[in-house]
Structure 1
Amino acid sequence: MKTTLHRADTRGHADHGWLNAHHSFSFANYYNPERMNFGALRVLNDDIVSGGMGFGMHPHDNMEIITIPLRGDLEHKDSMGNTGRIKNGEIQVMSAGTGIFHSEYNPNKDQETNLLQIWLFPNERNVEPRYDQISIEDYRKKNELYQVVSPDVNGQGTWIHQDAWFNLGDFDKGTAREYHLKKEGNGVYLFVMEGSVSVNGQTLDKRDAYGVWDTDKISITAENDARFLLMDVPMAI
């Protein structure tokens, strides 16, 4: 078994005034050759967007993009004709494929929006771009891991062009569960959104992350009430 520990205070940081961003992996002006990706997981940005501010129209291609608001709302527009709002309790997925343009901004002038934006390398290039949005509440299970993203078009939650499975955990203190990796050659990257958990005995606090691979299962225990994101992704890209 191999592991990597990323403490919250070791992430890249950029404060643009309207945007306060923490980068788990090299992104924009933050470059760390030892933190380029975790297998197929290329980007994990923890962004706080000021009221009424946001990202103008910009392009993406050949990337699976997953957005999870943690607090507040995010207004979305894209070149596929999609417009709408995502909020805490929902997940948005875009397969950029052959190329898309999109914008996203905080529509509420009186409050910040905090979101996770996650990019994964796809397992198929130049696919037709697509958009999806789901409610986490449709799948939430207290004190259990519940799947919200998978490669299965007919699976629970939404789907992406990659052999990756995302699960959320909303655990009370003392809750313990085992997670079995879905595919040989995959690894797990667990990111703590709130509280603290231990993974195979390694304690993680808020915004810490732990990568584990060359194993077929991990053990998770909530040291305090905790909410976390578990990403099961291919290590070979």
Structure 2
Amino acid sequence: MAAATTNREASVDIRRADDRSATRIGWLDSKHSFSFGHHYDPANTHHGLLLVNNDDIVAPGTGFETHPHRDMEIVTWVLSGALVHQDSIGTSGVIYPGLAQRMSAGTGILHSEKNDAWRLTGADEHTEPVHFVQMWVVPDAAGVEPGYEQLEIDGELLAGGLVTVASGLERDADQAAIRISNKYAALHAARLEPGRSVTLPDAPFLHLFVPKGTVSLEGAGALGQGDAVRFTATGGHTVTATEPSEILVWEMHASVRA
């Protein structure tokens, strides 16, 4: 499902938050970096191995009812609030900021995602929406065993550098918080205070997303909340926070087969 890279021309493609397609219904405000659902653009189906980068806000007491997935690695990153995950392989839990989480759909899985943590924890009902980013990458091969993994990494994020959240790269076997079934991809995250900088990896494909705050990208200027950058055949750029910010960076050494 992935193809090794060939020689490509270097490019830095900035995508602004307001240019994303959106799904807005009573309980959901979802913004899509790539084609998703009925928002289809044949020129915007993926970058590298990344097919979905949805920026979602879900109202309390609501959420995504049980639905199927197949042959996809799904990573969810919560920015504020709490999201309840339940699936057909018996996993249930609450995802919150600083928790790395991955679901491998493989041969098929059913799951739900809701903003109703009080029903699972016994706490008082709350009125806070949950804000999260959900990202999908293709696996190495179809038909893997469905699976789930999560790990608390809040302490690592406090250091202010890039933290490897999820990876299938061989070099990250002992470093990544969680593993994904793609040997060409890794997700990194950083929480940055104003003036703090990180250097992006150098890879054939990078996807930088700013889900929170404002940063400055070396050679390109300001990026605000919801902005993204697609790098091809380049890397090593410096990102500096101009206010408290979070960034998500996919490092990819292959692309979806055309």
Q: Paired residues, what number?
A: 234
Find the partner of 2:230 among 211, 218, 221. 211
Amino acid at match of 2:216: S
Query: Could you tell me how far apart the structure 1 residues matched to 2:100 and 2:254 are?
Result: 24
* 2:122 alignment partner in structure 1: none
Is residue 185–residue 253 contact of structure 2 (8 Å, CA) maintained in 1? yes
Equivalent residue for 2:157, pick from 137, 140, 154: 140
Q: How far apart are the structure 2 equivalents of 1:79 and 1:138? A: 31
Instruction: Please list the CA deviations of residues 42-91 of structure 1 after superposition, one character each: whole Å capped at 9, or x if unmatched.
Output: 00111111111011111101000001111111111111011121112212
Q: Equivalent residue for 1:155?
A: 175
CA positional deviation for 1:210:
0.5
Query: Which residue does 2:6 correspond to in 1?
Result: none
Whether contact under 8 Å (1:139, 1:148) holds in the other structure is no
1:110 aligned partner: 127
Q: CA RMSD in A?
A: 1.7
2:76 alignment counterpart: 67
Q: What does 1:22-171 align with in structure 2 at a 5 Å threshold?
A: 22-107=31-116, 108-151=125-168, 152-162=172-182, 163-171=184-192
- Give the Cα separation in 2 of the matches to 1:58 and 1:119: 15
- Corresponding position: 1:197 with 2:215: yes
In 2, the alpha carbon distance for the partners of 1:21 and 1:179 equals 27
Q: Answer 1 or 2: higher relative contact order, Cα 8 Å, separation at least 6.
A: 2
1:234 aligns with 2:253: yes
Question: Shift of the alpha carbon at 1:235?
Answer: 4.2
CA contact (8 A) 1:97 1:128 kept: yes
In the aligned structure 1, how far is the partner of 2:194 from the partner of 2:81? 26
- Aligned counterparts of 1:56 and 1:31: Cα–Cα separation in 2: 23
Q: Secondary structure of the residue that 1:47 maps to in structure 2? A: strand
1:197 corresponds to which letter in structure 2? V
Q: What TM-score does the superposition give when structure 1 sets the normalisation length? A: 0.92
User: Which runs of 4 or more aligned residues in structure 1 lie more than 6 Å from their structure 2 counterparts after TM superposition?
Assistant: none
Name the CA distance, whole Å, in 2 between partners of 1:15 and 1:54: 13
Shifted more, 22-31 versus 224-233: the winner is 224-233
Give, as a single letter, the amino acid of the residue that structure 2 aligns with 1:198. Answer: S
Aligned mates of 2:42, 2:28 — CA distance in 1: 24
Match of residue 173 from structure 1: 194
TM-score (norm 2): 0.85
What letter corresponds to residue 177 of structure 1 in structure 2? V
Q: In the superposition, relative to structure 1, how do residues 109 and 173 fare at CA in structure 2: closer, same or farther (>3 Å)? A: closer
Report whether the alignment pairs 1:12 with 2:59: no
Partners of 1:3 and 1:39 in 2: CA distance: 13
Deviation string for 1:116-135 (max 9, x for gaps)?
A: 11100111221111100111
CA distance in 2: counterparts of 1:141 and 1:70, whole angstroms: 14
Instruction: Flag structure 2 segments of 5+ consecutive residues without an equivalent.
Output: 1-9, 117-124
Are the counterparts in 2 of residues 71 and 87 from structure 1 also a CA contact under 8 Å?
A: yes
* Structure 1 unmatched runs, 5+: none
Give the letter aligned to residue 97 of structure 1. G
Residue 26 of structure 2 aligns to a residue whose secondary structure is coil
> Is the Cα–Cα contact under 8 Å of residues 100 and 166 in structure 2 kept in the other structure?
no
Does the 8 Å CA contact 2:59/2:130 hold for their aligned counterparts? yes
Q: Distance in 2 between matches of 1:198 and 1:188?
A: 17
